[in-house]
Amino acid sequence: FTVLSMSNVISKFLNMGVSLGDLIRRATVNPAHEIRRPELGTLSVGREADIAVLEELRGHFGYVDCGYAKMDGTLRIVAQMTIRGGRILYDPSGLSMVQWEKARPQYFNLPMLPGSLPATADNYPRN
């Protein structure tokens, strides 16, 4: 249970003094090299773009390990958005979405009510 996510693992090592640039390289370029997929792991013309938008938070955070010990840290990396193949797949904070006050009329239709339109995230404009 101690490996919660890639951002959690990166956060642990960041708090142990490994630079963010080195950690990003170890999480992107190096794995692509190991699996012999040079088209992955970097952003450049002609390559498939998988993008993780990360935020660095400062505060007081606790991290546990497989020995059930805790390490205190002051930095945390949080995934804010994931884009794959030009599509936003993960956006829990709505970074790409309009404010609800500016939403299209479909936003206010309730699917469970007669006459309402079915809607998905693709029906709404992005910033």
Can you tell me the mean pLDDT for 102-108? 75
Domains of the chain: 6-92 (2.30.40), 97-127 (no CATH)
If we measure between CA atoms, which residue out of 118, 95, 96 comes closest to residue 106?
Answer: 118
The contacts of residue 103 (CB under 8 Å, 6+ apart) are 124
The contacts of residue 90 (CB under 8 Å, 6+ apart) are 79, 81, 82
Ramachandran region, residue 115 (left: φ > 0; alpha: ψ -120 to 50; beta: rest): left
pLDDT at 75: 98
56: enclosing H helix or E strand? strand 50-64
Q: Is the pLDDT of residue 119 over 60?
A: no
Q: pTM surpassing 0.85?
A: no
> Angle at Cα 79 formed by Cα 102 and Cα 126, nearest 5°?
20
Tell me if residue 24 falls in helix, strand or coil.
helix
Determine phi and psi for 82, rounding to 5 degrees: -130, 130
Can you tell me the mean pLDDT for 28-41? 90
